[in-house]
Structures are given as C-alpha cells and as structure tokens.
Amino acid sequence: MKTTYARLRRTLGQLAYEKRYGVRTAELIELDQLGIAGEQRGYYVAASWRTLRRTLSRKEVTARDVFIDFGSGMGRMVLEAARFPFGKVIGVELSDELHEIAKDNVQRTRQRLHCRDIELVQTDVLEYEIPDDVSVVFFNNPFQGPVFTTVIERLVATLDRNPRELKIIYYNPVEEQTIMATGRATIARRLVHARRRTAGSPFGVTKVFVLR
C-alpha cells in the first residue's frame, strides 16, 4: 500500500510539474513509432524528475562544468540539469521528432532555468564529437552493446586529452561492466527507486560512476 501511494504521489507530482511549466516529457514511446528502432535499442521513457537532485549536489556543480545527456529524448534531464549552475548543458538525441519536442520544451522554460547555455543536438551518437570538458554524463539506458562501448571509449579518450574527474549518472545501468572494464571507474553512489520490482536487476537503479 505504501509503495502504491508513493508511486501515485510521484506520478501526480510529475504531471503537476509538466502542467505548471507547459512541457511534454511524460510518455512511453516504442522506437519503431519514431522510425529509429534497432538492435540493442529499447524504447523512449523519461527518467524521474528527481534523478539529478538525488545524485548531484548543487555545491558540486560550477560554471566550469558541462553536462551531457546521451539519448536526451524530449529533454527532461536537460531541463533538470539546467536548473543547476552548469556552464553548459547538452542533449544528444537521434530522433528528430523527440528533438523537436525537446526544443519546444526548452524554449517554454528557458527564462526559469539557471543555465542559459543549452545545446540540443540531433544526430547519431557515433557521429557526435564529445567535448573534452564534459564533466557530468547522463544515460537512461539509451543504447547497449558496441554503441555503448564506443561512447565509453570516447569518454575515456577525453580524459586522456584533458585529465579531470568525470561523473557518469546511469539510470537502469545494464552496461555497468563496460564502464568498470575501463579500469578508470569507481562507483560513488547507488540509488534504488521505489518502483523497482526485481532484486538483482539493474532496472529501477541509478548508479553514479566517477572516472579519472
């Protein structure tokens, strides 16, 4: 009963936020509806609005920090990140339809956001050049397998070019071993969400990795 009540309260809270700010992010869409279905891709569903607030402290973020959401969809985490004092927030999304919705969401809320430098990029992640100053990366299980491995390798390459601390916030971390296999990562935090149902499953979990 408590779990059901908490889930209902969370859902109503998210819908109230979307109504208040006039944004659209709370949908579940199969990728074949978007024309981007492929092996090791699942579906679009946004992470909880509270994910970043539960994994990042505002004190940890400065104007020197750059945030990237890979598979940014309708822009929910872009909007959440822009409420922090990041110097720049970037969303990278393959679907043109979701990208256009995200642009509209950012436009509707821009004046309320702390970070004003927001860049939305519509491209295949394998064609995206990751900036060497990115400091926080968000994944909501957007892709798996060789694509995920390649993105992690490219993130590590940025550390080689520009040594620094890099945080990866991974919602539903099904490719955790790929990150740990770099030999550069430690797990800084692990959160289990109320809606998680299966013990031992990565779904319903957020992990924060720190790479150096």
Phi, psi dihedrals of residue 175, rounded to the nearest 5°: -110, 35
Is 187 in a helix, a strand, or coil?
strand
Q: What's this model's pTM, rounded to 2 decimal places?
A: 0.84
Q: For the chain, how big is the Rg over CA atoms in Å?
A: 16
pLDDT tens for each residue of 127-176: 999 999 999 999 999 999 999 999 999 999 999 999 999 999 999 999 99
Residue 120: how many CA atoms within 13 Å on its side-chain side? Answer: 25
Q: Read off the pLDDT of each residue in 97-119 and give the average, rounded to a whole number.
A: 92
Looking at domain 2-211, which CATH architecture does it have?
A: 3-Layer(aba) Sandwich (3.40)
How many angstroms separate the CA atoms of 62 and 86, rounded? 6
How many angstroms separate the CA atoms of 112 and 116, rounded? 9
For residue 108, which amino acid is it? Answer: R
* Contact (Cβ atoms closer than 8 angstroms) between residue 113 and residue 41: no
Q: Read off the pLDDT of each residue in 86-107 and give the average, rounded to a whole number.
A: 95
How many angstroms separate the CA atoms of 156 and 163, rounded? 10
Predicted pLDDT of residue 159: 98
Does the structure show a pLDDT above 50 at 104?
yes
**Mind giving me the DSSP string for 9-24?**
HHHHHHHHHHHHHT--
Predicted pLDDT of residue 2: 44
Domain boundaries, the chain: 2-211
For residue 169, which amino acid is it? Answer: I
- Which tokens hold the place of 53? 């607030």
For residue 142, which amino acid is it? Answer: P
For residue 85, which amino acid is it? Answer: P
